[in-house]
């Protein structure tokens, strides 16, 4: 549905873009804020990427981008009993390619995790929890009647009717991608299907929204890793806002002007997110089902 509306809005925009020109805009001076992109899932260690935000029109080449990376912060994670200080090490799969990671404290289902970041006399905190992972009933592949060599992967999830569950879904195509990427419309809450099974099409995602056009289907013989996660409400609201922002920031027919709804406390941006993850794998054949 979102896709349809987005396409409609873009369609109207084409009319407008015929009189499109570049302009100079004077923006007020800007002091960079700490940006947190951190997560923890069950049986996994905490991982945190730390950067600073940049002025909107600042020059962003390789040097400037590297300068945005925070390498001298003290990052610690606590489950209320144990506290671990994360260590920084390189990881080329991420941007920035320097990741704060834990080695002792593993995520556990139902536990709450406190993140503390200390940098240049500034202290930032955030809290998240790891919900029960989703119950994935089945995953299957359906070929496209118009393009028999391609198709869509589907996942069916059931949920606990006693509470509202929030989901975020990632995929990774082996041989094409080095890590998991969120699918095209990755966030769901079960408000509309509470207590029922829900079949979700896993539109392939992209590494970032600046990529040209995302592929719309999977090819036959793709091996795809699928990660379906549950998360808490704060995390869901952040990712929903994030999604809206990605779609709406260029659309005059939409409202896009608010800072994302974050769980980070202090003068900082970003998200600290706990995932209850369910992993599966599928190789797309004409009759494949996991």
Partner 1 sequence: MKNYLNIIKYSLFLLLFNFFHCNAQNIFQLSGTVKDSQTGSSLPGAHILINKTKGTTTNSKGEFHIQLPAGEIKVQVSFMGYHPYQKEITLERKVELTVDLHPISLEQEEIVVKARRDNHNISSAETGFQRLKASEIEQLPTFLGSPDPIKALQYTPGIQSVGEGNAGIYVRGGTPGQNLILLDQMPLHNPSHLLGIYSVFNSLSIQNLNLIKGGIPAQYGGKLSSVIEVNTPASSENRVSFAGNIGTLSSAGVIKGKTQNERGFFLLSARRTHLDLIKSLLIEPLSKNSSRFFRETNYHFNDIYAKYSYCIGTKDRITAQYFFSSDHYKYCKEPLSNKMNWDNWAGALIWTHQTSSNFSYKSILSYTSHCMDMTSFFEDYEFLLGSRLHTLNHKLEFLLNTANHQMRYGWELVYNNTVPEKVKTIMPDINYQDQDELNSAEANLYFNDEMNLLPKLKLNAGFRLHRILHVGPYKQFAEDETGKRLETKSYSKYKIVKGYNFFEPRISFSYQLRPNQSIKASYTENNQNFHLAEVGSVSLPTDIWTSSTEDLPPEKARQFTLGYYHNFANNNFETSTEIYYKKLTNQIELKESVVLKMEKEIFEDQFYMGEGRAYGFEFFIKKKTGRFTGWLGYSLSKSQKRIPEINQGKYYNTKYDRRHDLSLTLNYNHNSKWSYSAAFVYATGNTMTLPVGRYIIQGNIVNDYGKINAFRMPAYHRLDLSAKYQVVKKKQFESFWTFALYNVYGRSNPYFIYFSAKGDLDNYKLDVKAKQISLFPILPSISWNFKF
- List the one residue from 74, 250, 281, 286 that touches partner 1 (CB under 8 A): 250
Nearer to partner 1 by C-beta: 2 or 104?
2
Q: Residue 81 interacts with partner 1 (CB under 8 A)?
A: no
Q: Residue 6 interacts with partner 1 (CB under 8 A)?
A: yes
Cα→Cα distances 34→7, 172, 223, 230, 270, Å: 34, 29, 37, 26, 8
Dist. CA 164–CA 237, nearest whole Å: 13
Residue 104 CB, nearest approach to partner 1 (Å) = 25
Side-chain half-sphere CA neighbours of 212 within 13 A? 1
Nearer to partner 1 by C-beta: 113 or 236?
236
Q: Residue 235 interacts with partner 1 (CB under 8 A)?
A: no
Which has the closest alpha carbon to 45: 94, 85, 11, 16? Answer: 85
Q: Residue 248 interacts with partner 1 (CB under 8 A)?
A: yes
Rg (CA), the chain: 20
Residue 92 CB, nearest approach to partner 1 (Å) = 9
- List the one residue from 45, 65, 136, 158 that touches partner 1 (CB under 8 A): 65
Dist. CA 121–CA 118, nearest whole Å: 7
Residues in region 88-107 near partner 1 by CB under 8 A:
95-96
DSSP 8-state secondary structure symbol assigned to residue 258? S
Dist. CA 171–CA 207, nearest whole Å: 11
Q: Which stretch binds partner 1 (CB under 8 A): 9-17, 81-89, 112-120, 275-283?
A: 9-17
Q: Which two tokens stand for residue 184?
A: 């095209």
Residues in region 145-204 near partner 1 by CB under 8 A:
154, 163-164, 166, 182, 188-192, 194, 199, 201
Dist. CA 119–CA 50, nearest whole Å: 11
Residue 269 CB, nearest approach to partner 1 (Å) = 6
- List the one residue from 126, 229, 247, 264 that touches partner 1 (CB under 8 A): 247
Helix (H, G, I), strand (E, B) or coil at 284: coil
Peptide bond into 96 cis (omega under 30): yes
Nearer to partner 1 by C-beta: 53 or 78?
53
Q: Residue 35 interacts with partner 1 (CB under 8 A)?
A: yes
Q: Residue 138 interacts with partner 1 (CB under 8 A)?
A: no
């Amino acid at each position: 549905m979102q896709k349809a509306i987005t396409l409609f809005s873009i369609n109207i925009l084409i009319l407008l873009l015929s009189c499109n020109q570049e302009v100079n805009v004077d923006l007020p001076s800007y002091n960079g804020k700490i940006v947190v992109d951190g997560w923890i899932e069950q049986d996994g260690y905490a991982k945190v990427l730390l950067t600073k935000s940049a002025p909107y029109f600042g020059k962003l080449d390789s040097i400037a981008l590297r300068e945005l990376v925070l390498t001298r912060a003290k990052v610690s994670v606590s489950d209320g009993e144990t506290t671990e200080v994360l260590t920084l090490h390189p990881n080329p799969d991420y941007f920035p390619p320097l990741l704060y990671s834990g080695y002792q404290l593993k995520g556990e289902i139902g536990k709450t995790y406190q993140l503390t970041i200390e940098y240049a006399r500034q202290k930032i905190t955030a809290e998240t929890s790891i919900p029960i992972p989703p119950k994935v009933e089945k995953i299957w592949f359906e070929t496209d009647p118009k393009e028999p060599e391609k198709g869509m992967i589907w996942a069916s999830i059931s949920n606990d009717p006693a509470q509202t569950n929030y989901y975020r879904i990632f995929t990774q195509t082996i041989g094409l991608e080095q890590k998991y990427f969120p699918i095209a419309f990755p966030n769901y809450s079960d408000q509309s299907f509470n207590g029922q099974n829900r079949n979700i099409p896993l539109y392939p995602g992209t590494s970032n929204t600046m990529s040209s056009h995302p592929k719309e289907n999977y090819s036959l013989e793709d091996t795809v890793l699928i990660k379906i996660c549950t998360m808490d409400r704060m995390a869901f609201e952040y990712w929903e806002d994030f999604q809206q922002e990605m779609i709406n920031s260029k659309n005059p027919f939409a409202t896009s002007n608010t800072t994302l709804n974050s769980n980070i406390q202090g003068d900082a941006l970003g998200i600290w997110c706990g995932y209850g993850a369910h992993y599966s794998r599928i190789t797309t054949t004409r009759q494949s089902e996991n």
